[in-house]
Chains A and B, each alone.
Chain A
Amino acid sequence: EAGVVQSPRYKIIEKKQPVAFWCNPISGHNTLYWYLQNLGQGPELLIRYENEEAVDDSQLPKDRFSAERLKGVDSTLKIQPAELGDSAVYLCASSPQGTSGELFFGEGSRLTVL
């Protein structure tokens, strides 16, 4: 079974430029998460989707970050404009709806803002 797929794996941009990350969750997983992971830190939740609905986006900096999951499958996370402090790994995870068990994480997209 294919895992959570993220792209790109690495992205280097200059500050004030836009960037987008894409995530394809495990087939059949209704819940999708975007996490931010700074170097040496644990992941921090940005947004959680149940199907196409964003049910928790309280930690998403809405002035520059946006996300969508239009058909309840793939998701895109966008930053516009990027700032130096946005350099981090952006992790996508998915889980079957209604479970309280494990999240399945992708390998992440590492962003470097110069």
Chain B
Amino acid sequence: GESVGLHLPTLSVQEGDNSIINCAYSNSASDYFIWYKQESGKGPQFIIDIRSNMDKRQGQRVTVLLNKTVKHLSLQIAATQPGDSAVYFCAESETGANNLFFGTGTRLTVIP
């Protein structure tokens, strides 16, 4: 199957700083990418998605960047807050959300 991996398994940031979580994928046919946040004991929660015809998409305090040339995806969180502490998963698909392949995850810890 597709390989979706993350560069760093853990990331610690100071409260108020910006966070950047990176993700690499290997399937050049992937055209849909999505980030999920998973807090301890809960199911994943949608953050933001992006299609391959875009290279940037912004949400509330979050930005997703897609570099198809190097098959790299990143999630930027502005002014990181303690509530952002969680595991973040990137996922990709050739056919939308119906067939998502999830990466291993990065644990983000926000230091007050």
A binding-site residues for B, Cβ under 8 Å: 4, 31, 40-45, 48, 56, 91, 93, 95, 99-108
Contacting A100 at CB < 8 Å: which of B43, B97, B104? B97
Cα–Cα, bound, A56→B95 (Å):
13
| Inter-subunit contact A91/B43 (CB<8 Å) | yes
Interface-central residue, A31, A42, A100, by most chain B CB under 10 Å = A42
Minimal Cβ-Cβ distance residue in B for A102: B46
Expressed in whole angstroms, the Cα–Cα distance for A12 and B44 within the complex equals: 23
Q: Quick one: CB contact mask for B29-49 with A, threshold 8 Å, 1 for yes?
A: 000101000000111111001
The answer to the question of B99 belonging to the interface, with a C-beta cut-off of 8 Å to chain A, is: yes
What residues of chain A lie closer than 8 Å to B32, measured between beta carbons? 100
A43 engages B49 (CB within 8 Å)? no
Top 4 A-B pairs, shortest CB-CB distance: A42-B102, A105-B43, A100-B96, A102-B46
B9-42 at interface with A (beta carbon < 8 Å) = 32, 34, 41-42
Given A42-B105, A101-B49, the answer on whether A48 and B98 have CB atoms closer than 8 Å is yes
